[in-house]
Structure 1
Amino acid sequence: MRTNPIYIARDGKSGMHVLVRILVVGDIGADYLPIDPDGFNELMMARDARSLVLATQGLGPMFASEGDLAGRIFVPSELQRGIAGEMDLVPSDLGVLLSECYFDPYAEPVGTGDMGYKEVGRTAKKAARELIDEFDFVNAGNLSYLDSRFRAVIEPLHDWIFARNLLSIVLRIGGLYRTGADPKTILETARFRKVEPVSLKERFNMGSATCYAIPIAFNPFYRTGNLLVNDVTFDAQKIWPLYNSLTDIKKSFTQAVIDHHLKGDGNEFVKFLTSIEAAQADGRFDNRKNHPEENKWWYLVVSSNIDGKSIDDQMQIANRILQAVDGRLFQPRIAYSGVKMAEIAPEQKPRNMLEAMWLLVRNHPDHYLLTCKRCMRTVLSGTQGGERSFCSNSCRATWSKEHSAKKR
């Protein structure tokens, strides 16, 4: 279900960017084909908005069934004529796009007293500008020639960033363990921050137990507009449908915090948290310069208190994360299909691209998880040619140069 072409635009109603994916009508509702490991790796190694969008183009749609795409399928020329109408698609915005494209579960934490992380740099800005110049939907030209056989499918870019970062965070632990990382401290090696200061735990409603936190996405409450209005109008199903399908969303008006956890019995120890800072700063809800840096990110937070027991060994916690995510994402049941040469087949199919990618990861007999020694990206590496330590020749050369300089 490769997409050709694909565009980017900003939804004027949500204030966030979306992908406009052109699909053959017959592909909508079709089962996902097996995911190519190379396509998976392109997504995992995307370092900027442009490379991310190109990777999503090769992989195919996040959702395939018409039920999941309700309200997101349009005749291409009608969508163009409705730029100021139903979807309210407007030109992309470079600054907003860079804010949304937080890629770094791999980035080094900044400072020791907070939860801020390094942001994207000049290279990412150049790539985002090129993406807008090449793929902005408002410059697509007349698409009416596609109307008879194709449909335009709208996907929140935020879903793809979340999917890619969730996979990277969870799988990186396996790649590190394979290379001999200390299981007692493996979460911190994987760039989780150990959270113990009482004030920070109270700010993010983490409870009394030690927690491990890592940014996983941009906080959509900090999208363009007034923070209070963004809070009131937040609709996860519209802004973040993939995320919405994975979490139980609970909001308390007595606390300035969004408290979501991974769906499933016993999964409350895996939370997605962010402070929405409803308290006014200098008399204004949207004076963001005065807000703590950590407010801009949405965090994956894992408690050491699991089923009422406090766990000190980080590998035990990591294993429970893996089991929880696996149970939530995809556990295909098998059944007799009645088809010759395929008598036993999965009874259920992946419902979205994240599940399809997870199925690849769970069943990769000729690949292993490789967490790059330099950039911390985790990819699927082939077994031919022996064990590898780097995701690319570029990272190998850069690492060698950096460490040669240190030895002088």
Structure 2
Amino acid sequence: MHTDQIYIARDGKSGMHVLVRILAVDDIRVDYPQIDPDNFNKLMMARDVKSLVLAARDLGPMYISADILSRRTFIPSHLQQGIECGFNLIPPNLESLLSECYFDPYAIPDEIAGIGYRAIGRTGKKATRELINELDFTKAGDLSYLDSQFRAIVEPLHDWVFARNLLSILMRIGGLYRSGADPDTILEAARFRQVNPMVLKKRFDIDTDTCYAIPIAFNPIYRMENLADKDISFDALQFCPLYGSLIDKKNSFSRTAVENHLKGPGNEFMKFLAPLEASRFKNRLDNHESHSEENKWRYMVVSSNTDGEAINNQMQLANRLLQAFDEILFQPQLAYTGIKMAEITPERKPRNILEAMWLLVRNHPGYYLLTCKRCMRTVFSGTQGGERSFCSNSCRATWSKEHSVK
């Protein structure tokens, strides 16, 4: 379901950026279409904000069901004029946009205590400026000609970044499975970091078992503006419905973090952790050292204590992690379709872009997971022409150049 027109703006209420997608009325409230693997790879390969937004445009809407879209669907000209309640869209901000979007899930852990990472990507300021200049919703011109047959759908950019990074991390585990990774270190090979029990467990009040953490998205509490006590009760389902659909609705608070565990029985071992200790907030926390760079991110934290039992083998823990997301996104109840190359299908159809992409990841008879030998990005690769080692020609050329010099 290709979207020709997409814009970016900033939500004046949350201070975070959103996409405004122009969608035909007839495309709303229909079955979610199959995901095109090439468009999926565009999202996985996105290295700057512009390429991520264009990939989101080509993949199609985040939601198409009426219940989710009820508060996110607007007549285009009404949204422009601020007639509709709920959103006050203002121009994008370059620095804020880079802060929200810049996270490299392939970054390398720093060799220091804590959960800092050394980025290997690029910030893409030039591409971000181009995106703002070309697709600023507040400068889109009069869209009233679209009012009769089209609607403007507002989607949080945070959810697109979260979905991309979550799938990138989970796919990388799958790629490492396939390549025969060491079962004792597969999570660390996937760039998780074992939590230092003397530092981070005390700081974040997380459980006493061995944990593995990895940054997964921007921490919405860590904003340059709108930082206030109300942020502690940040409504994930309202501002980030895709993220909110995965978590148990009951927040767990400590003096230093907000925790949301993955919804579903027995999934408490998998948490999303957002530090409260933001740079302008640190003086209100007694006896806590500031970790400004680390506090920018929301972390996915996996505990070795699952269902009351300790799992010491990283491969078993990685498998339990994938099973937990299968239960939520893929659904284990399968049905026979009789259609060649799509013999099985989940009993329930995808309800959002994340479920549709996970269905592609877990049921892809014509593709395999390829983890690039150079950049560690995991993408889909076709089975024709033999197996590959690189995600792109540029990575192949760079790797060859680097190793020829060595």
TM-score, structure 1 normalization: 0.92
Q: How far apart, CA to CA, are the structure 2 residues paired with 1:79 and 1:148?
A: 14
Q: How far apart, CA to CA, are the structure 2 residues paired with 1:50 and 1:168?
A: 18
**Structure 1 residues 280, 48: CA separation in 2 closer, same or farther (over 3 Å shift)?**
closer
Q: How does 1:3-402 map to 2 (within 5 A)?
A: 3-82=3-82, 86-119=86-119, 124-232=124-232, 234-277=234-277, 283=283, 290-331=290-331, 333=333, 347-402=347-402
Q: Following TM superposition, by how much is the alpha carbon of 1:309 offset from its aligned partner in structure 2, in angstroms? A: 2.1
Q: How far apart, CA to CA, are the structure 2 residues paired with 1:235 and 1:243?
A: 11
Equivalent residues of 1:116, 1:294 under 8 A apart: yes
Q: Secondary structure at the match of 1:42?
A: helix
Equivalent residues of 2:116, 2:293 under 8 A apart: yes
Q: How far apart, CA to CA, are the structure 2 residues paired with 1:122 and 1:395?
A: 15
Comparing 310-319 with 9-18, greater Cα deviation is found at: 310-319
Q: Following TM superposition, by how much is the alpha carbon of 1:233 offset from its aligned partner in structure 2, in angstroms? A: 5.5
Comparing 365-374 with 249-258, greater Cα deviation is found at: 249-258
Q: How far apart, CA to CA, are the structure 2 residues paired with 1:248 and 1:200?
A: 23
Comparing 311-320 with 195-204, greater Cα deviation is found at: 195-204
- Percent identity of the aligned residues? 67
**Given residue 206 of structure 1, which amino acid in structure 2 is its aligned partner?**
I
CA distances 1:238-273 after superposition (whole Å, capped 9, x unpaired):
211111110014434553211111111111111111
Equivalent residues of 1:332, 1:348 under 8 A apart: no
Gaps of 5+ in 2: none
**Given residue 17 of structure 1, which amino acid in structure 2 is its aligned partner?**
H
CA distances 1:204-259 after superposition (whole Å, capped 9, x unpaired):
23211111100000000012324334524622122111111100144345532111
Equivalent residues of 1:158, 1:240 under 8 A apart: yes
State the match for 1:403 in structure 2.
403
TM-score, structure 2 normalization: 0.92
Q: Secondary structure at the match of 2:68?
A: coil
CA distances 1:121-180 after superposition (whole Å, capped 9, x unpaired):
765111111111111101111111111100000000001111111111011011123223
Q: Following TM superposition, by how much is the alpha carbon of 1:277 offset from its aligned partner in structure 2, in angstroms? A: 2.0
Q: How far apart, CA to CA, are the structure 2 residues paired with 1:18 and 1:354?
A: 17
Gaps of 5+ in 1: none
Q: How far apart, CA to CA, are the structure 2 residues paired with 1:185 and 1:21?
A: 42
Report the count of equivalent residues: 401
Comparing 202-211 with 354-363, greater Cα deviation is found at: 202-211
**Given residue 189 of structure 2, which amino acid in structure 1 is its aligned partner?**
T
Equivalent residues of 2:78, 2:84 under 8 A apart: no
Q: Secondary structure at the match of 2:177?
A: helix
Q: How far apart, CA to CA, are the structure 2 residues paired with 1:17 and 1:119?
A: 22
**Given residue 269 of structure 1, which amino acid in structure 2 is its aligned partner?**
F
Equivalent residues of 1:73, 1:152 under 8 A apart: yes
Q: Following TM superposition, by how much is the alpha carbon of 1:199 offset from its aligned partner in structure 2, in angstroms? A: 2.1
Q: Following TM superposition, by how much is the alpha carbon of 1:101 offset from its aligned partner in structure 2, in angstroms? A: 0.4
**Given residue 362 of structure 1, which amino acid in structure 2 is its aligned partner?**
R
The root-mean-square deviation of aligned C-alpha atoms, in Å, is 2.5
